[in-house]
Homo-oligomer: A and B are copies of this chain.
Amino acid sequence: MATDSAIVREVGLRDGLQIIPTFFPTPAKIAWIEAELAAGVRDIEVCSFVPPKNIPQFADALEVTAASLAMPGLRPSALVPNLKGAQRAVAAGVPELHFVLSVSEEHNLRNVQRTTQQSIDEFRAVLELAHSQPTPVRVSAALATALGCTIAGQVDPGRVIELAHVVVDAGADELSLADTVGYANPAQVRAMFDRAQRELGGRVPIAAHFHDTRGLGLANAYAAAEAGIRIFDASLAGLGGCPYAPGASGNIVTEDLVFMLESMGIATGIDLGRLVEVRRIVAENLPDEAMYGQIAKAGPPKGFAQAA
């Protein structure tokens, strides 16, 4: 029996695909979700409710959502950048919204054309909408650029914690701290998540979102795990990036993260072998994209056993 477990949330279909101009065919998206679910990945961010004219990749958000809702055992979620997106997502039946606002004012203006304060006001409206549904919709508040910003540079940790309190006080069901552009180092991560966990961990679950832009993604995930974090975003094959943060490419690799956690005795409920096989769907549909990840190449160590 597992004494420790974690949620690994696949965000490749959203954070991975959003920067990729090639349209990933809708049936292939659905096959990807099905295959990951079959491997044991129950938490999948399946799409983004951004205006399709901004990111055509998500023009099929309604179809992908509908298909996801029909998969027993899946806990689908979707990114929403604003109230309008939340309205569309709620109408589509998405049970969990990820509302993103950037701690860095400059990044927020670039990313969603709002000041941070405007995004906070919008977040309150999203919460009101989501929580007033007959079956309340969960809302996670994702604080982007929480560990650095390509425009502003360093981000004040005090400001991150201040905003974290604001969104949790407002009623967020989850707090997510994101190293959107791959700036974080593990000592910084440890300090930040220690503080967030201490001040807010008793009130909401806290998730960690890392990019491997500068090679420290899994070191940062380990540091967050040491701080007690047990919800991690990751992308199959490390797809992903931020369209407004040049050079930021690649979420941490889902397969490698699962391998790390399972090796550490933290059960994910995900079958590593089956998960690695899902890469084929990505490779077939994005033959020109770089596929990251080491465990798919090297295979697990001799005698490797998943946490159970």
Contacts and interface: CB of A to CB of B under 8 A. Distances in A.
Interface of A: 148-154, 181-183, 185-188, 212-216, 218-219, 221-223, 226, 247-249, 253, 256, 259-260, 263-265, 293-295, 298-303
A183 B301 contact: yes
A295 B214 contact: yes
A308 to B, nearest CB: 16
Copies of this chain: 2
A248 B294 CA distance: 11
A19 to B, nearest CB: 14
What are the nearest 6 A-B pairs in CB distance?
A: A153-B303, A215-B294, A185-B263, A187-B264, A215-B256, A153-B302
15 contacts: A148-B301, A149-B302, A153-B301, A153-B303, A154-B303, A182-B301, A185-B260, A186-B264, A187-B263, A187-B264, A188-B264, A214-B300, A218-B218, A219-B219, A249-B298
A117 to B, nearest CB: 24
A34 to B, nearest CB: 26
A264 B187 CA distance: 6
Among A150, A264, A298, residue most surrounded by chain B Cβ atoms (within 10 Å): A298
